[in-house]
Amino acid sequence: MNILLTGCNGQLGNEMQLLEKVNPQHTYFNTDVQELDITDQEAITRFVDENEIDGIVNCAAYTAVDKAEANEALCTLLNAEAPAYLAHAIGQRGGWMIQISTDYVFDGTQHMPYVEDDDTCPNSVYGRTKLVGELNVQKFCEQSMIIRTAWLYSTFGNNFVKTMIRLGKEKPELGVIFDQIGTPTYARDLAVAIFTAINQGIVPGVYHFSNEGVISWYDFTKAIHRLAGITTCKVRPLHTAEYPTPAARPHYSVLDKTRIKTVYGIDIPYWEESLAECIAKL
């Protein structure tokens, strides 16, 4: 197949490119904004048709959650309208699409892991635009797979793991939120799941993916410092109210992964095993 990958310079996009090298059975067109402007519908249609694209993995998004509150138009363009353009172009060819989404489509007031069919209720610009993106992809591409993920990190780009390692080395003390609960996702593990879906064949629908287990940001930071050998920084717990942000964060965003494990027969690693692997590479 000819497969278009968007957002190839991001965390997930970079992990996808590494796995392409050991999955040579398909031809990948790795693009970011320099190669393909996904906000230009005509450019997308032309690219998809000229390169006879069979499937699209859309890793591109506006992910600056707090900045999104003041940049709703740009966030809407990248997270809602661009996925519609991609889905329409590939849908016209009878192809498939994988759209990466987020736990922010929920408000985080639940106390049981979210399943795919739970009512969505985003309470941020980022969450609302990503939800519209999901709906647009499903509207324009019948063979579409939505994968919601959370707390993404990798050896690439800027992310929580890298920031906590840097701050842990620079500062004698850090305050980190303890009353927001979720599960980290190592981007490489998500990339492996995406390749599994591509190679087995896309089964349309909404799926959840993160690593296994449950943790708070505070406990996650403690684990990061322990695995990175940082012993000189004291980490103290903060309430969410002590660290106000422009965008509301879900207090509980644990995702139930039963569907993706059942449909594709995948084993998902425990979060600490994947964190250790990532930090070893760093």
Closest by CA to 124, choosing from 176, 58, 70, is 70
- Cα separation, 200 vs 188, whole angstroms: 18
Beta-carbon contacts of 200 under 8 Å, excluding residues fewer than 6 positions away, are 264
The answer to whether residues 168 and 187 touch, using CB atoms and an 8 Å cutoff, is no
The answer to whether residues 191 and 12 touch, using CB atoms and an 8 Å cutoff, is yes
The DSSP bridge pattern shows strands 55-58 and 96-102 to be: parallel
Long-range contacts of 119-125 (CB under 8 A, 24+ apart): 123/248, 124/65, 124/68, 124/69, 124/247, 124/248, 125/68, 125/69, 125/71, 125/72, 125/75, 125/247
- Residue from 28, 62, 104, 126 carrying the catalytic annotation: 126
Q: Which two tokens stand for residue 112?
A: 């049981």
User: Does the annotation mark 270 as catalytic?
Assistant: no
Residues designated catalytic: 126
